[in-house]
Amino acid sequence: MQKTRSNFMNDISKSLMREGFSAGLIEMAERHPEIVCLGLDISKSVGVDKFKEVYPDRFFSLGIAEQNAASIAAGLSLSGKIPVFSTYSTFISTRSLDQIRVSICYNNLHVIIGGAHAGISVGPDGASHQALEDIAIMRSLPNMTVLCPCDANETKQCFVAAVEQISGPVFIRYAREALPNFTNPVEKIFPGKSKLLKSGKDIGIIACGSMVYTSLKVSELLEKYNIYSSVLNLYSIKPIDKEAIINLAKITNKIITLEEHQISGGMGSAVSEVLSQNFPVKIKILGIKDTFGESGTPQELLFKYNLNEISIFNSIQKFLNEN
């Protein structure tokens, strides 16, 4: 268990999550010569360009062809390779869904998929490029592991786990914007587990991805009003850490979930499924409310969709005051 101290997050530097993905890919490629990478025309944008520089003979450029990438990755896996490909998460989860489902998941193949530029914080690219349904889609697929790291350090560790702890398909969801890089760079992650970052008895906050750091900031704000919250980093959405979720519900008796994703079918829904069947408590899911995103800066969009610190703080206050 790791507890936070007030204001411990001041002056934390920001890093791009794609850099963590790239670092994990390069490190694992050195240990595992069977790793190959498929490029989909935005290699630098998603963090696989450095792999091409170091291992040009193990990099295959396919152009903008998500469906082809999934099918080719399946063939490479059947040939003894560990294929990796990444592009915008919204395109992976929708355009290549059939190939991922039938060719990769049905055969339970060891393919690592990077769902980059996830959530509304893609910003000016707008609704067509903002992945808000990808968690729901990917976690519904049999055999698929779904990981949602919160910063660059954790993204690297998710990739390491995807190679060395998992033998089937893995989906790693990561954001585009630079985020505070606050987790321990050498702390391993374990699929099916989570990290309790802060302990408090008044309410349990469960978050994934970019919302984890925001949750810690909100928790600090709540303390000024004598409200003490627990913060759980649910980096593994499938398999999910049932034990940690149930224990948190028993301690706080109230749970709020935060994610840059549609409320329907997302991480909050996964938490609700666990609690409704094991330890029902009052729960509130914060996320995108059945709408598409739009163009704007990340800060503007988080404000518009009530996912900035003050909006979340107000939602928690209201939630706690409900009978």
pLDDT tens column, 114-163: 999 999 988 888 999 999 999 999 999 999 999 999 999 999 999 999 99
Which residues are paired to 115 by β-bridges? 87, 173
The total number of structural domains that make up the chain: 2
Read off the CATH number of the domain in which 206 is found. 3.40.50.920
Residues 68 and 200 in one domain: no
Residues 23 and 119 in one domain: yes
This prediction's pTM: 0.94
What burial letters (b/e) apply to 171-205, b meaning 16+ CB within 10 Å?
bbbbbbbebbbbbeeeeebebebbbbbbbbebbbb
Domain assignment of residue 115, given as a range:
14-180
- Domain boundary among the residues 139, 156, 180 is at 180
Residues 127 and 202 in one domain: no
What burial letters (b/e) apply to 84-119, b meaning 16+ CB within 10 Å?
bbbbbbbbbbebbbebbbebbbeeebbbbbbbbbbb
- Domain boundary among the residues 131, 153, 180 is at 180
Q: What is the CA radius of gyration of the chain?
A: 19
Residues 211 and 98 in one domain: no
Residues 169 and 279 in one domain: no
Read off the CATH number of the domain in which 138 is found. 3.40.50.970
Residues 56 and 165 in one domain: yes
Average pLDDT estimate for 74-98: 96
pLDDT tens column, 213-256: 999 999 999 999 999 999 999 999 999 999 999 999 999 999 99
pLDDT tens column, 39-62: 998 888 898 999 999 999 999 999
Contact indicator for 132, 288 with CB cutoff of 8 Å:
yes
Residues 171 and 27 in one domain: yes
pLDDT tens column, 176-202: 989 999 999 999 999 999 999 999 999
> Per-residue confidence at 109, pLDDT binned at 50, 70, 90?
very high
* 71 or 10, higher pLDDT: 71
Computed from CA positions of residues 211, 192, 113, 53, in that sequence, does the dihedral angle turn out positive or negative? positive
Residues 130 and 263 in one domain: no
